[in-house]
Chains A and B, each alone.
Chain A
């Protein structure tokens, strides 16, 4: 059974967030993301640094119990206390006992948000003040963070000015307006709180097991004041934050600021080994020197100050179980930099109040929320990951975030209520998924079946699909947005066309290379033109092309995007069986649809036998990548259509960019004399079936807005992916062509 009401509610909620928070989120996340590109470009060997960081986290999570023992030894040796809390209630009870109703100042800590520590302390009579400016704004506004690094990025400067004026009842003449004035106002108010504080609570970005130190990555300096002023320091962190040694911090110090906000390093990376030697700053005894008079820099620099007390509270709350979960385990490598959020097309539009759970937001949030809060919480926003993979190269510890989202989606599907069986959809699309699976997911996951039916009954099927009552029913029962134009199926598929014209035209003896053109479902049934163009292009470059009917099977990418992993596995196995014999016969596999190539390249090693996946990936090429290779190796471009200086706007598919293949298309177009402008946006917003779903249609169009801004006046627009083409059609009113259609012989 469908859930039209919840779809409408979801659409309304997203529309509200787009309206109220979208602009601020878009400006900030895109700013961070562009800065990330610049900042990581400066690194000598960014990829090696990421590999090193990942290896450290892999090792640390593997050896976690042993490292926790070492850390406990180091902390207790200095007179500190270490407590491992099983869950939120356990952690809050421990901290409440230490705080004992006193004045608390806090620096930003997502882990304490997860625990709802402030509420627990306040219920116990404590006065709690957040000192990170963003967190303080949220505390005053009684809102939750919308981003793990910039908790208040959804707030505008004007909104903050209004909030301060209202909260502190400020007259017009005392009202701070500029960012500078607002910062100064906050600093002074917060300093007053810090002076009165009895306990400072911080998080920890990293903990080093060898020394008992903690790294705090900040820019404002509030964490330092939180640690140094009160005599009692409580640090709260997830158990996963431990790394073996101080030296292991090096790659993270270089990566974390660059990945998160595009700064090469934040103003302060504090490496506290508490209890620290710093004398507390006792404002109740403000006229007595803080330190023993006559002391100099470096005196007692390794001795804990005798008045200081330190408690390290390490929180399990589901993490140790995640460590045992092969798919969720990678989440524990996360260093909470926020790069996945900043690089995410959907997050850039709607922010963490839609794309997040009870605490964590953005791409990696699915893993955190599934592990910490449970599947139900993760399910609420998991669909907002379109699987575009733009977060994959952004992640400094190489977490395959889309895969975690796919796994959680699969688990959500399987947890669905089996009582909601819908015979209509079940009959149309038999698959290996549970009965209660959302019908829209089942429809898009089985696009292959639909396409085969569509071609067989075209043009009748296309005519039927345009009828008002049919669209209304599709919207109501399947959640297919009425605004979207549906794909028109061709009666003659690419495979049929290729056979009817008599098979390969380049003889075996004359062939430069032999290739199988993979007839993906869309090219075979809908975008047959681009398939024909690809055949003509490759033949013009001397390639003996075949389009075997046996290979006209779905890659599994469509069901994978719906979290239907078992269905995807079945399709992947069939696809491998169809394509590997060609590879074994020495032929290359040429792929038009980037998402299918991405499936071969990134996902098949999780679906089929490793060596099969490797062989297929190693011999598969994106069509323009293949053309590029042929031209580089001496093929004569004379038979192709030259650009003669024509201006074209080109949008590469997101997965193609992740695979590093955008440049090949641009180079081929350049070489043929086209004047190419490339799109600057991370993702067009369609990302496969996502933009077809009625609850996400408006968001999908909003994500595409920068493309309209950039390409609105372009005469000719090229796009590599099916979904990008459809989205550009909807955004610009003109269908985009595949680049191979531009370069194919007349």
Chain B
């Protein structure tokens, strides 16, 4: 994807109250380490990327419940909306991205697509194969208590780590 697409993603994610870090592959672990509020749980990243030791993988329900931060991968991002696409998997990414008050999502720059139409287009075959995904934009929110409140059942804070300079670009 072009640098402009990533730039658009950053602007729109920030508009939706997320924080974005653009880093090289070898900076990912350090950036994640700085982004977590311990205790942190996470799901091992694909793409040969390591998580810092401060993030406990293979969490139990108790650890999930106690964690302040959850770290997961995102398979896609949507520039026009600042959205990250979080796929469900056997490793428990759905729960890890949802329960803790802060969610840190790691996405490759090459997986940032311009619009919702491209994202849904890519998800077509994935869903027909049986995948599940959530298009997540910013933190959870509610307006049911009389005014807009950030953070309802899901995270109050969202940080996105965009990994640049890989083979995928």
Contact = CB atoms under 8 A, between A and B. Distances in A.
A222 B92 contact: no
A88 B98 CA distance: 33
Contacts of B61: 281-283, 285-288, 290
The size bracket of the interface on B is 35 or more
Interface stretch (A267-275, A421-429, A552-560, A731-739): A267-275
Contacts of B138: 267
Interface stretch (B22-30, B32-40, B121-129, B159-167): B121-129
B156 to A, nearest CB: 10
A332 to B, nearest CB: 23
B90 A267 contact: no
Which of B116, B121, B134, B144: most chain A CB closer than 10 A? B144
A161 B161 CA distance: 38
A186 B146 contact: no
B73 A297 contact: yes
A210 B82 CA distance: 28
B133 interface: yes
A264 B152 CA distance: 19
A137 B72 CA distance: 33
Contacts of B46: 296-298
A553 to B, nearest CB: 50
Contacts of A28: 143
Contact of B152 (A222, A283, A287): A222
Interface stretch (A176-184, A314-322, A713-721): A176-184
Contacts of B144: 132-134, 137, 150, 152, 183, 220
Contact of B89 (A137, A270, A287, A301): A301
Contact of B87 (A211, A246, A285, A298): A298
A224 B123 CA distance: 18
A224 B145 contact: no
Contacts of A156: 146
Which of A160, A179, A267, A269: most chain B CB closer than 10 A? A267
B3 interface: no
Contact of B146 (A182, A190, A254, A294): A182
Nearest to B12: A264
A267 B60 contact: no
B110 interface: no
Interface of A: 28, 78, 131-134, 137, 150, 152, 155-158, 160, 179-180, 182-183, 186-187, 190-191, 195, 208, 210-211, 213, 219-222, 224-225, 228-229, 245-247, 249-250, 253-254, 261, 264-274, 276-279, 281-283, 285-305
Interface of B: 43-46, 58-62, 64-65, 72-73, 75, 81, 83, 87-95, 98-99, 116-117, 120-121, 123-124, 126-149, 151-155
Closest 7 A/B residue pairs (Cβ): A221-B154, A157-B146, A300-B90, A302-B130, A220-B152, A296-B44, A134-B144
28 contacts: A28-B143, A157-B146, A158-B146, A180-B149, A182-B145, A183-B151, A210-B128, A219-B141, A224-B94, A225-B154, A261-B143, A265-B83, A266-B137, A268-B136, A268-B140, A269-B134, A269-B135, A274-B132, A286-B62, A290-B60, A291-B58, A296-B91, A297-B43, A297-B72, A299-B90, A299-B91, A300-B91, A302-B131
